A and B are shown apart, each in its own frame.
Chain A
């Protein structure tokens, strides 16, 4: 198992951010972690990364205990968030060098890895450009490069494609699927349901509770629909006990008929 957590709970004072969730993710899979904003996704991720200590529960990431072996876990994890936390006043190469050295990579190993990643991210010729001068798609690819510099076996992506254009989004996901075929495990959070449908396993978290965890195929079968977005909305509707907004389909019909409410 790449990730295996049991009854993981995190409380901030009297507020329970994550409420006793358990799941197992085998190696080499893409795990899509879905849920509305503020449902506990980031808190769970931070516990898995060994950054946040769980209030109770236990877990192992790549075989390492997420309370005791945080240093080892961090050495094996690549992390990339929506903010593309690059140093904008450092060049492409300096950014890669910085993270490579933080992971204590050997000189030759780092040089070789840098060459591979610059090729993968299509950043050839941009090595000496400041990261701040790159456009959105380039930045995203550089951020991915930085998170992969140390050959991690688990890649964690926190809304990696938020605010990125459709072409860059597809290119990004094609790189991810290639990485997975190379044996890496991916945990990804996203609000794009087309991205979620590419995942091998989908977990849905709401108000700190893990509502369901299944393959997309099983979810389609259970909910009698091929549309993940409808399943997502259905869950929120059931759990929050209120009408979410009308579907986009209905909105379109309303507008065509000229009805305004």
Chain B
């Protein structure tokens, strides 16, 4: 391998990128656009959800509970209704998403020292809102009942802990406010890094074939290794730029702070980038035209968005789908990203994911090298 030939290829590739508007946009603008889009649009936070209330108790205590809901940023009391049936009807019609029903014996139960049951009705047609609204209302009710218990404990002189009637307390770790951007943005980082580099590199190689310039190149002493590495170097820099700009923007726009080691995050990101470049290469060895490359990229990118755990929890997937998603490097990279950024854990806790990532990427690089040699013959 001759360094000068390799760098000659690199220099040429940089000129290609500089003169191709589509590549430039893809490399430098698309990542920022994707971050904004995913960061803001894939927002599963529930804010100011309209709440319909039936207050059967009509007591100071029941009004206090309603005020708790209203004062939280999650709910907004929009209707006070005359019967539980009305609440249901309002949800049926889609006027509100959530209903709160306080039974007439609410105060009586409280006074007896029992758990007063309130009913939260949730419109299940939007599972994201439903899930979040449910957990919020449970938290609100719990907090309120704790307060009541403490009050009654004070009055009766008993210990708060021994007072009966507190149901399960949901425990939310790492992201107590359940802000979805804290969870989503690291995922978005991984996806952007993967998608941009795969598409750019797949195109870079295919273009050479589509225009017939590869025919000329194989007649020269340039080796396939010099050609591959020379062409990939600019994309390594673009990929790293994208990765860092997303990290910085996530901090300023979404307040995502890297809790763990920044060095480890960048090192593993660099490694993942190499894998993504190899995948782009693999696509370019199969595709004959840029159109085919795009189709092949989509064929790969879509499942990696849906199955990697970015959108849906992998634990809930059927075995076969789970197995398929285990072969994507992004699956493990997401675990690493979320681990370092959100949880702040180190390599010791991420050893499984890192080992799997290394194995899969090594396999991809090997297959790519084999395939690429063949296509040149």
Contacts and interface: CB of A to CB of B under 8 A. Distances in A.
Interface stretch (B46-54, B138-146, B183-191, B207-215): B207-215
B161 interface: no
Contact of B221 (A53, A75, A86): A75
Contacts of B15: 89-90, 94
A214 interface: no
A98 B213 contact: no
Interface stretch (B2-10, B58-66, B194-202): B2-10
Contact of A71 (B11, B12, B16, B221): B221
Contact of B219 (A79, A86, A98, A101): A79
A103 B16 CA distance: 20
B211 to A, nearest CB: 7
B220 interface: yes
B220 A86 contact: no
Interface residues of B, number: 24
A103 B214 CA distance: 16
B117 interface: no
Interface in A148-171: 156
B212 A74 contact: no
Contact of B220 (A83, A102, A156): A102
Contact of B377 (A52, A75, A94): A52
Query: Majority SS of interface residues in chain B?
Result: helix
Nearest to B227: A102
Given A89-B20, A104-B2, A74 B221 contact: yes
A195 interface: no
A88 B211 contact: yes
Contacts of A90: 12, 15-16
A83 B215 contact: yes
What is the interface residue range for chain A against chain B? 20 to 34
B375 to A, nearest CB: 13
B19 interface: yes
B8 A83 contact: no
A85 B211 contact: yes
Contacts of B11: 98, 101
B215 A86 contact: no
Interface in B87-102: none
A218 B2 CA distance: 48
Contacts of B12: 87, 90, 94, 98
B5 A102 contact: yes
Interface string B15-33: 1100110000000000000
Greatest chain A CB density within 10 A among B5, B9, B218 is at: B218
Contact of B213 (A51, A87, A103, A147): A87
Contact of A81 (B211, B215, B377): B215
Given A83-B212, A86-B213, A77 B219 contact: yes
B125 interface: no
Interface in A78-127: 79-81, 83, 85-90, 94, 98-99, 101-104
B216 interface: yes
A104 B4 contact: yes
B222 interface: yes
Interface in A29-79: 49, 51-53, 71, 74-75, 77, 79
Contact of A49 (B5, B217, B219, B377): B219
Contacts of B219: 49, 51, 74, 77, 79, 156
Interface in B198-257: 211-222
A86 B15 CA distance: 14
Contacts of B216: 79-81, 85, 146-147
Closest 8 A-B residue pairs measured CB to CB?
A85-B216, A79-B219, A101-B8, A83-B212, A74-B221, A85-B213, A89-B19, A85-B212
Interface of A: 49, 51-53, 71, 74-75, 77, 79-81, 83, 85-90, 94, 98-99, 101-104, 146-147, 156
29 contacts: A51-B218, A74-B219, A74-B221, A79-B216, A81-B215, A81-B216, A83-B212, A83-B215, A85-B212, A85-B215, A85-B216, A89-B19, A94-B12, A98-B8, A98-B11, A98-B12, A99-B220, A101-B5, A101-B8, A101-B11, A102-B8, A102-B9, A102-B217, A102-B220, A102-B222, A103-B220, A103-B221, A104-B2, A104-B4
